[in-house]
Amino acid sequence: MKSGLGLFAAAVVLLAAQSALSVRTPAPARPEHRGEEWPPMPYLPVEVNYYLESLCPDCAKFAVGPFDAAIKDLEQYMKITLVPYGNTKVSDNGTYVCQHGPEECYLDLYENCVLHYTGYDVKQYWPFMKCADAIVVSRFPNVDGISKAILDACNKELPPSVDPQKVAGCAHGSLGQELLRAARFQTEFLDPPHTYVPWVTLDKKPIGENFSNISKLICAELDRLNNRGPPPPCKKIMA
């Protein structure tokens, strides 16, 4: 009997202690009760898919100009996918025929391998891609020897974790072929199909030839997706 009373008494003491604690440590006030605002919710990102060729002059101009500006201003609001393949064709014997010749075929392989070894992280791969496109802009249509010029200059832009020899091994081996095959299927199964490069889609919708306004288009899509106005960087872009 004493034991039962003792347990009951202990339970009463525990409940009293919990009650006292609940009085002494109230739940944090909601922000508006403290005269503050809730932290802003993150924006749903725009899916930006860019289908390209490594030696396409129009792709290169787009990349070093409007697209580079969009990445600088809006990268955190985008989910970016680059697909180096473009207008490449496959011959009857299964070899790839590239619009700008064999050097483009090799660079398409190399760029797919760069994307792979940088984990498809735009912060990691973009310095290399931008460097390569800047050389294309400066040299086109003289593409003889351009792949060596690009690799000599732009491998320095790869992150320290990516070994250029490993990338080259990928481009010359079965992994490169596998990555290029994946890029081919991503390109060939576009709906609607691409008709030129650069080909850019925002949330799977092609932007046509409106490349110079890519940042404004992304801001408009962010507004549509999130239904609360575009993020702060868009104020300057849309002005």
What tens digit of pLDDT does each residue of 95-131 get? 999 999 999 999 999 999 999 999 999 999 999 999 9
User: Which candidate, 149, 117, 133, 151, places its Cα nearest to that of 197?
Assistant: 133
Question: Mean pLDDT across the stretch 8-33?
Answer: 45
Kindly give, in sequence order, each residue whose CB lies less than 8 Å from that of residue 217, ignoring residues fewer than 6 positions away: 202, 207, 210
Question: Could you give the CA distance from residue 172 to residue 233 in angstroms, rounded to a whole number?
Answer: 42
**What is the CA 90 to chain-centroid distance, rounded?**
28
Query: What is the torsion angle, in degrees rounded to the nearest 10, for the CA atoms of residue 165, residue 166, residue 168 and residue 173?
Result: 140
What tens digit of pLDDT does each residue of 212-236 get? 999 999 999 999 999 998 999 999 9
Q: What confidence score (pLDDT) does residue 38 get? A: 60
Contact 53, 106 (CB under 8 A): no
Q: What confidence score (pLDDT) does residue 40 get? A: 72
Q: What confidence score (pLDDT) does residue 32 get? A: 52
List phi, psi (to 5°) of 116. -65, -50
User: Is residue 28 predicted with pLDDT exceeding 90?
Assistant: no
Asked whether the CA dihedral 152, 158, 161, 167 is positive or negative, the reply is: negative
What tens digit of pLDDT does each residue of 132-174 get? 999 999 999 999 999 999 999 999 999 999 999 999 999 999 9
